[in-house]
Protein backbone atom coordinates (compact mmCIF):
# COMPACT_ATOMS: atom_id res chain seq x y z
CA UNK A 1 0.00 0.00 0.00
CA UNK A 2 1.40 3.40 -0.94
CA UNK A 3 1.79 6.17 1.62
CA UNK A 4 -0.97 8.20 -0.01
CA UNK A 5 -3.40 5.32 0.26
CA UNK A 6 -2.41 4.76 3.89
CA UNK A 7 -3.14 8.44 4.54
CA UNK A 8 -6.50 8.13 2.78
CA UNK A 9 -7.28 5.08 4.91
CA UNK A 10 -6.54 6.97 8.13
CA UNK A 11 -8.62 9.96 6.94
CA UNK A 12 -11.60 7.72 6.14
CA UNK A 13 -11.39 6.06 9.56
CA UNK A 14 -11.21 9.42 11.32
CA UNK A 15 -14.10 10.80 9.28
CA UNK A 16 -16.32 7.79 9.97
CA UNK A 17 -15.44 7.73 13.67
CA UNK A 18 -16.23 11.47 13.87
CA UNK A 19 -19.65 10.74 12.38
CA UNK A 20 -20.07 7.93 14.92
CA UNK A 21 -19.21 10.20 17.86
CA UNK A 22 -21.57 12.90 16.54
CA UNK A 23 -24.40 10.35 16.24
CA UNK A 24 -23.73 9.04 19.76
CA UNK A 25 -23.90 12.55 21.25
CA UNK A 26 -26.63 14.15 19.13
CA UNK A 27 -28.88 11.34 17.82
CA UNK A 28 -28.60 8.33 20.08
CA UNK A 29 -30.11 10.07 23.18
CA UNK A 30 -33.40 10.34 21.24
CA UNK A 31 -33.53 6.53 21.17
CA UNK A 32 -34.76 6.63 24.77
CA UNK A 33 -37.25 9.46 24.34
CA UNK A 34 -38.72 9.04 20.84
CA UNK A 35 -42.45 8.38 20.81
CA UNK A 36 -42.79 5.48 18.38
CA UNK A 37 -40.99 2.15 18.51
CA UNK A 38 -39.72 2.24 14.88
CA UNK A 39 -38.26 5.71 15.48
CA UNK A 40 -36.56 4.53 18.68
CA UNK A 41 -35.12 1.56 16.81
CA UNK A 42 -33.90 3.87 14.03
CA UNK A 43 -32.16 6.24 16.48
CA UNK A 44 -30.72 3.30 18.40
CA UNK A 45 -29.26 1.64 15.29
CA UNK A 46 -28.08 4.74 13.43
CA UNK A 47 -24.60 4.75 15.10
CA UNK A 48 -23.97 1.25 13.76
CA UNK A 49 -23.91 2.60 10.18
CA UNK A 50 -20.51 4.39 10.43
CA UNK A 51 -19.12 1.47 12.45
CA UNK A 52 -20.10 -1.00 9.71
CA UNK A 53 -18.52 1.38 7.19
CA UNK A 54 -15.32 1.40 9.32
CA UNK A 55 -15.26 -2.41 9.26
CA UNK A 56 -15.65 -2.33 5.45
CA UNK A 57 -12.81 0.22 5.11
CA UNK A 58 -10.60 -1.90 7.41
CA UNK A 59 -11.34 -5.05 5.39
CA UNK A 60 -10.44 -3.22 2.16
CA UNK A 61 -7.23 -2.01 3.80
CA UNK A 62 -6.25 -5.56 4.80
CA UNK A 63 -7.07 -6.90 1.32
CA UNK A 64 -4.77 -4.30 -0.27
CA UNK A 65 -1.90 -4.91 2.16
CA UNK A 66 1.15 -6.95 1.21
CA UNK A 67 1.71 -10.49 2.50
CA UNK A 68 3.58 -9.58 5.69
CA UNK A 69 1.10 -6.85 6.58
CA UNK A 70 -1.76 -9.30 5.99
CA UNK A 71 -0.08 -11.83 8.25
CA UNK A 72 0.24 -9.19 10.98
CA UNK A 73 -3.40 -8.12 10.55
CA UNK A 74 -4.63 -11.72 10.72
CA UNK A 75 -2.59 -12.69 13.80
CA UNK A 76 -3.64 -9.46 15.54
CA UNK A 77 -7.30 -10.15 14.72
CA UNK A 78 -6.90 -13.71 16.03
CA UNK A 79 -5.43 -12.44 19.31
CA UNK A 80 -8.20 -9.82 19.61
CA UNK A 81 -10.87 -12.46 18.96
CA UNK A 82 -9.33 -14.77 21.57
CA UNK A 83 -9.24 -11.98 24.19
CA UNK A 84 -12.82 -10.84 23.55
CA UNK A 85 -14.23 -14.39 23.27
CA UNK A 86 -12.43 -15.45 26.44
CA UNK A 87 -13.65 -12.39 28.34
CA UNK A 88 -17.20 -12.83 27.04
CA UNK A 89 -17.24 -16.49 28.05
CA UNK A 90 -16.02 -15.72 31.58
CA UNK A 91 -18.48 -12.83 31.92
CA UNK A 92 -21.32 -14.90 30.48
CA UNK A 93 -20.81 -17.79 32.90
CA UNK A 94 -20.48 -15.44 35.88
CA UNK A 95 -23.66 -13.60 34.84
CA UNK A 96 -25.57 -16.85 34.24
CA UNK A 97 -24.59 -18.06 37.71
CA UNK A 98 -25.69 -14.69 39.18
CA UNK A 99 -22.19 -14.15 40.60
CA UNK A 100 -21.95 -10.71 39.00
CA UNK A 101 -24.80 -8.65 37.58
CA UNK A 102 -24.06 -7.85 33.93
CA UNK A 103 -26.41 -5.65 31.93
CA UNK A 104 -27.12 -6.21 28.25
CA UNK A 105 -25.69 -2.84 27.19
CA UNK A 106 -22.21 -4.15 28.03
CA UNK A 107 -22.32 -5.57 24.47
CA UNK A 108 -21.63 -2.00 23.31
CA UNK A 109 -18.06 -2.52 24.52
CA UNK A 110 -17.37 -5.59 22.36
CA UNK A 111 -16.38 -3.65 19.25
CA UNK A 112 -14.17 -1.09 21.07
CA UNK A 113 -12.49 -3.96 22.99
CA UNK A 114 -11.82 -5.81 19.72
CA UNK A 115 -10.35 -2.60 18.23
CA UNK A 116 -8.09 -1.93 21.23
CA UNK A 117 -6.93 -5.58 21.48
CA UNK A 118 -6.30 -5.62 17.72
CA UNK A 119 -4.40 -2.31 17.81
CA UNK A 120 -2.14 -3.37 20.69
CA UNK A 121 -1.53 -6.81 19.16
CA UNK A 122 -0.72 -5.29 15.78
CA UNK A 123 1.71 -2.82 17.38
CA UNK A 124 3.45 -5.65 19.26
CA UNK A 125 3.64 -7.88 16.15
CA UNK A 126 4.91 -5.01 14.00
CA UNK A 127 7.73 -4.46 16.49
CA UNK A 128 8.59 -8.16 16.29
CA UNK A 129 8.93 -7.86 12.53
CA UNK A 130 11.11 -4.77 12.80
CA UNK A 131 8.41 -2.17 12.34
CA UNK A 132 6.52 -3.81 9.46
CA UNK A 133 2.80 -3.25 9.13
CA UNK A 134 2.75 0.04 11.02
CA UNK A 135 1.34 2.03 8.10
- Give residues in contact with other proteins (CB under 8 A): 1, 65-69, 126, 128-135
Closest approach of other proteins to the CB of residue 122, in Å: 12
Closer to other proteins at the Cβ: 67 or 105? 67
Closest approach of other proteins to the CB of residue 131, in Å: 5
The C-alpha atoms of residue 20 and residue 48 are separated, in whole angstroms, by 8
Closer to other proteins at the Cβ: 58 or 132? 132
Helix axes 48-63, 3-26, angle to 10 degrees: 170
In order of 30, 99, 100, 113, 130, the CA distances from 96 in angstroms are: 31, 8, 9, 22, 44
The C-alpha atoms of residue 76 and residue 118 are separated, in whole angstroms, by 5
Closest approach of other proteins to the CB of residue 127, in Å: 10
Closer to other proteins at the Cβ: 6 or 102? 6
Amino acid sequence: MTRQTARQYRMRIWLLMSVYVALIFFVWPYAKTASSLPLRALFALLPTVPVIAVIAVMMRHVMHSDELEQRIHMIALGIAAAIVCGGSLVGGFLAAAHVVPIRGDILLWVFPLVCVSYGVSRWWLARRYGGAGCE
